[in-house]
Structure formats: C-alpha cells, structure tokens
Structure 1
Amino acid sequence: MDITAINEMFANIRENTDWDLNGPMLWGYFFVNTTPEPLHGLGEKLVELGYTLVEVFEPDLEEGEDPYHVLHVERAEVHTEASLDARNHELQALAEANGVEDYDGMDVGPVEI
C-alpha cells in the first residue's frame, strides 16, 4: 500500500467511523507464504519486537487456487499516515530478510478494552 492509498484509508476512517486515530488502534499485519515454516520464524521475531501472534493459517481457497499460508500479528499503536507508511516498509523488509514471500498489508480497528 503506497502513501496515497494510506492517505485515502485514513480519510475514509475519519469520515466513516468515530474512531480516534490520534489514540492507540489495534493494527493487524499480514504476511503470505507458500509454506508455513518461514511464517512461524517471522512470527517469533515479531513477538520479540512486541507484536502479538494471532495465528498462522491456510485460508479457504476458491477452486483452482494454489494453497498458501498467512501469518497474522497485531499490536496496539498510534499511527499517522507517514508512520504507517514507514511501518509497512519496515515489515516488507523483515519479510524479505526472513524468507517470506510477501508482506500483504494491514487492517485496523478499535482497541477492545
């Protein structure tokens, strides 16, 4: 996701939700690989960096799709458009350094208290 898409995402959240983007939000980050092993290794490294491991799973596939696995981690943190762009670059580099095929992006929601 490039900075333009991030700017649009933030604008959409501000316009369509009552979420306070100036406070901590629960950010989920996703990584994709053909096999699960590199995802488990990356997940351990991300836990050491303060992320919470949600799961490594094989998604339900449409007929004819090649199987793949997804790593989902999350962390409550505050982001601006620029800091989220920097985080995406950081996570892409971590994926590459750990033999994971793709950093697949993020989602966001309110922190459940």
Structure 2
Amino acid sequence: MKKLLATVAAFLCTGFAQGSDFVNGRSVISLAQLNEMFADMRSNPGYRKWDVDGPLLWGYFFTDPSSKKLQAAADHLSSNGYRFVKIFPTEDRSTFFLHVEKIEHHTPDSLHQRNLEFYKLASRFRLQSYDGMDVGPAAR
C-alpha cells in the first residue's frame, strides 16, 4: 500500500511542475493532472484491487510554520466530517504538516473542486499552503 501511495504522490509531484493552474498567483493541481492521475490509477495493475470509481480513503495535507494555525484548520475540518490524522514537523522543524482524511467517492472533476475548496480554506486560515492529497483503498 505504501508503494501505491508513493506512486500517486510521485505522480502528483512530477506532474505538479508541468501544466499547473494558478489560483491567487500560486500554482495548483490542474484538472488535466487529475484526469491523468485517474487514468493512471485505472491502467496501473497495482491499483486494480481498488474501486477507483467508488469510495476511497483520501488524505489531504496543509502546511504552515505554525502548528497552532494548522490546529485551528484541523478543528474546522474535523467539524466538517474529516478525520484528524496528525500534525507533524518537517525534519528541520521549520514547517508543520496537517494530515486529515475522509472516505469519499471522487471523479477528477469532484476532486478538482475539493482541491479548489482547500486552496481557499488554506488562504482563509492564512496557512502557507494546501499541499495536495494522497489516496488509498477504503477500509472494509
């Protein structure tokens, strides 16, 4: 499973630099990148066990130098049905990551809308960034 998540994360990181869209002057994950990601998940043998067109466990990540600001965002997201996973520091402790997750069914279009909502949420809470998502199979 970690390898599959790493594959999605690597895809997003390599694709992120190419053909990104922009919101408020910042690069964001484009709908074209999400279409490519879903196509890759459908064609990659490692993902065939997953119901790509059904509910999956989506993890979402935000960053900021202040863990307190991330905690405020975590509280807001938790009150809106997201499960708080953790806030953890980078290796050099200069930045923290917030990880939340939720079992959701997404299409490239719906995931694009969710990402746009999270870019706005990061701006509203004055976070450094909405850093993107990962995906795994929903627990049965």
TM-score category by the smaller chain? over 0.9
1:8 to 26, 30, 36: 36
Q: Give the counterpart of 2:95 among 65, 68, 81.
A: 68
| Match of residue 22, structure 1, among 47, 53, 57 | 53
Q: What secondary structure, in the 3-state scheme, does the structure 1 residue paired with 2:85 have?
A: strand
Equivalent position SS for 1:13: helix
Partner residue, 1:103: 130
Q: Taking every aligned residue pair, what percent have the same amino acid on both sides?
A: 41
* Structure with the higher fraction of residues in helix conformation: 2
- Counterpart CA distance in 2 for 1:60 and 1:7 is 32
RMSD (Å) for aligned C-alpha atoms: 1.1
Q: Secondary structure at the match of 1:112?
A: coil
Q: CA deviation at 1:67?
A: 1.3
Q: Unaligned 5+ residue runs, structure 2? A: 1-28
- Point out where structure 1 has 5 or more consecutive residues left out of the alignment: none
Question: How far apart, CA to CA, are the structure 2 residues paired with 1:67 and 1:98?
Answer: 19
Amino acid of the residue matched to residue 94 of structure 1?
L
Match of residue 84 from structure 2: 53
Alignment counterpart, residue 85 of structure 1, candidates 102, 112, 123: 112
Matched residues in 2 for 1:23 and 1:86: separation? 17
SS at the partner of 2:139?
A: coil
Structure 1 segments (4+ residues) deviating >3 Å: none
Q: CA separation in 1, counterparts of 2:124 and 2:66?
A: 16
